[in-house]
Structures are given as structure tokens and as C-alpha cells.
Amino acid sequence: MFTLTVGRKLKKINWWWTSFNGNDAQALKEAVNNGKISEGSKTAEFEEMFADYLNVPYAVATTSGSVALLIACMVAKIDEGDEVILPDRTWVATANAPYFLKSKPVLVDCSPELPTIDCSLIQSMISDCSKAIVPVHINGRDANIDQINRIAKQNKLTVIEDAAQALGSKNEFGYLGTQAEIGCFSLGITKLVPAGQGGVIVTKEKTLYDQIKLIKNHGVVDNYTETWNEFGFNFKFTDLQATLAIAQLKKIDQKIEQLKKIYEIYKNGISNLQSVKIIPVNIKKGEIPLWVEAISPHRTKILKYLKSHGVNCRPYHPSLHTCKYFSSTTSFENSTRFQDQAFILPCGPDQPIENVYFTTQKLCEFDEEYQASSLVD
């Protein structure tokens, strides 16, 4: 992901850097040698560790964060004709999960300041068909889950927390992803605890836990009691993935500190620039900046300038209302601005600090040109 060359060749800096070391490789080797391949004792060990970390009684590992959301929707009995309220600014998996069950995602604009759902708009989106709200803790930010829980309670709706980007983030009530009926996490490569692929569902309710376990294994309690209790599918994890996830979870505190350090370097380094601003994360409150996001009306020229110096950033993905199969007549002014102007700076728990300083320096140089000339329209 990072290459340092000599001569006139550019140093290449990618937007994300995570790494696996000899300890990870040794753990995988031992798992293979001990026959820990399919879902079994290592998966159970990981689930227990994950639940302990979040201070919840139940955690269930599955194939991906997307599948975690799908299972959560199935447990919530979301079905054809139902409506599920969720933010316009989120990865498409949040909406695809209920859509897969033939329900309708109802999209809500984000706030002007942050790319999280604007809670003041939720009540107006609720109808007789509403079944659930899926708040998304974008980049570790609290999506005002306490307020959303109150709205849901008043309207008898289920809340499913999408905490795919928020492992380790907290608010005054505890860890994000643990404050509703069900919370969903991701173990993808650009997440804090990567296992290649994977997801985790957490809950505090035994009845929900039992349902989740059934759905992820074709409705059977275990492979020795093959009674088809209810509809399910093969959404099982593997012990190989669990082995890698365990090794990564053991390093989570160290990873979090590194993410905070990277965020603070960028924040302090470009806080006075005119051409670009950091999208804030409230670290003092307990939020963890998985990524470092910036915003600028001159994004295209900034990214081109950085790329000319070997720095690769990631533009924000499209908002959901641009997807042709999610029809909506609502205005998404704030979401559209983030879509068109925001991007992710080089970051990640193993991103070399020298890359962060180098990127900061290039942003400052761009800003000098921006202020001194007509480089930016």
C-alpha cells in the first residue's frame, strides 16, 4: 500500500493502510494445523471476546456487515410493504438489506454540519407503513441514537444500529451499536478489526439472539439437531476468519490511539486553511475517527494536486438517492454537498506518520496557491 522509491519517482501513499504481521500469520498457521477451519470453537471464542469488549451478553459472527444488516432486518420481521427509515448518506448495504426483503427504504437527508442523519426530519418521514429506523454511525460519529430511540419508542418502531464504521466509539450511554435492539458491525479490510470479510450482530435480548442463531444456519439449532425451526440460510463465519479477528481485536486499543493521533495531526495541520476543512469527529465525547474526512468545494483540483505528488485520497461515495432503484422525491441538499465535496485523507491504523505529515504539507502548499492565484475557480 505504501512504496518509497528513489530518484525522481514519487512516493505512493494510499488512502488506507492496515497490516498483518507474523503473529497473525502464526495464529492462522496454528488454526490450520489444529483443524480450525469451518465455524467452530474459534468463532465462539471470537464472539465471546467481541461481546465482552462491548459489554453486551450476545454477539454472533456472520459473513459480512451487509449480511449482519440483512439478518437484523429478518429478525425484526421487516417484509414486503414495510418502510424502513435510514440516512441518505450511508453505504448502500444499509438500504439493500431491507430492499432485499421487498421493503421500501425511506431516505432522510443529513445535517448541514455532519454526514449523519438529521433527526429533526425523521418524524415527518414516519407513516403507517413504517417498521424500523436504521441510524448509521458514520465514521464513528454518534447518530444521536438516544433521540432516535425516543422517536422510535413513541412510534412503536424497531431500531437497528448500523455501527459498521463505529467499533470502539462511545457516547455518554456506552458503546455505539449497543444502544438499540440490535447492532451491526463490519470486519471488512477498511475497518478497525479486519478479518478479510465478516460481520457481527450484537444484542442484549436472549430471544433475539436465539433467532439470529437460527437464521444464520438454515433455522437449525445445531448440525446434530436438524429440525427446520424457521426460514434461514447459510450465513456462517469460519474459524480461520475468527482466528485473524481475534488477533486483530487484541490490538484494538493500540489501533484506536493511532487513529486518534493521525486525526489530530491533520486537524492541527490544516485547521487554518481556506481551501479545505476537516469534517469533525468528537474524540472527547468518545467517538473514534476510523477515517479522516475532509471537505472542499474544490475537491477535484485538490485530489488532482495530491495525486500529482503521489497521494491517493478516496472521494465520498454517491448518496443513496442517486441509486436508480431507490425512488425519492425528497430534497437532499446537505447529502449532495457531502457527496460532491467530501473525501478521505490517507489514514488507517498502520499508516506511516510520515505519510500523514507529507499529505498535510501538500494540502498547505495547495492552499497557498489557492490564496495567491486563481488556481481554484
Contacts of 191 (CB under 8 A, 6+ apart): 65, 164, 165, 167, 185, 290
pLDDT digits (tens, 9 = 90+) for 71-89: 999 999 999 999 999 999 9
In one-letter notation, the amino acid at residue 162 is: D
Residue 377 lies in a domain: no
Residue 208 lies in a domain: yes
Q: Do 144 and 245 fall within a single domain?
A: yes
Average of pLDDT values for 357-377? 85
What pLDDT is recorded for position 9?
62
Tell me the C-alpha distance between 72 and 93, whole Å: 12
pLDDT digits (tens, 9 = 90+) for 301-318: 999 999 999 999 999 999
Q: Do 226 and 116 fall within a single domain?
A: yes
Q: Do 350 and 326 fall within a single domain?
A: yes
Edge to edge, the sheet with strand 292-295 lists 277-278, 292-295, 342-345, 314-315
Tell me the C-alpha distance between 222 and 145, whole Å: 35
Angle (CA) 308 312 317, round 5°: 125
Is pLDDT of 60 > 80? yes
Q: Do 312 and 244 fall within a single domain?
A: no
Between the alpha carbon of residue 149 and those of residues 130, 158, 161, 325, 342, the distances in Å are: 15, 9, 10, 28, 29
Q: Do 45 and 99 fall within a single domain?
A: yes
CB atoms within 10 A of CB 155: 14
Number of compact structural domains in the chain: 2
The CATH code of the domain that includes 257 is 3.90.1150.10
pTM of the model: 0.94
Q: Which has the closest alpha carbon to 356: 288, 263, 284, 283?
A: 263
Domain boundaries, position 267 = 2-19+252-372
Q: Do 204 and 286 fall within a single domain?
A: no
Q: Do 35 and 176 fall within a single domain?
A: yes
DSSP 8-state symbol, 38? B
Residue whose cell numbers read 496454528: 30
Q: Do 119 and 149 fall within a single domain?
A: yes
Q: What is the residue-wise DSSP string for 213-281?
A: HHHTBTT-SBTTB----S---B---BHHHHHHHHHHHTTHHHHHHHHHHHHHHHHHHHTT-SS-EEPP-
Average of pLDDT values for 226-233? 84
Q: Do 227 and 266 fall within a single domain?
A: no
Phi, psi of 58, deg, nearest 5: -135, 135
Q: Do 238 and 260 fall within a single domain?
A: no
Last residue of a domain, one of 249, 280, 304: 249
Residue 332 lies in a domain: yes
Are the CB atoms for 175 and 54 separated by under 8 Å? yes
DSSP 8-state symbol, 319? P
Phi-psi sector, 241: left (phi>0), alpha (psi -120 to 50), beta: alpha
Last residue of a domain, one of 208, 223, 249: 249
Q: Where are the alpha helices (DSSP H) in 37-167?
A: 41-54, 65-75, 93-100, 122-125, 145-155
Q: What is the mean pLDDT of the chain?
A: 94
Q: Do 205 and 295 fall within a single domain?
A: no
Last residue of a domain, one of 216, 231, 249: 249
What pLDDT is recorded for position 2?
34
The CATH code of the domain that includes 136 is 3.40.640.10
Q: Do 106 and 196 fall within a single domain?
A: yes
Contacts of 247 (CB under 8 A, 6+ apart): 23, 24, 27
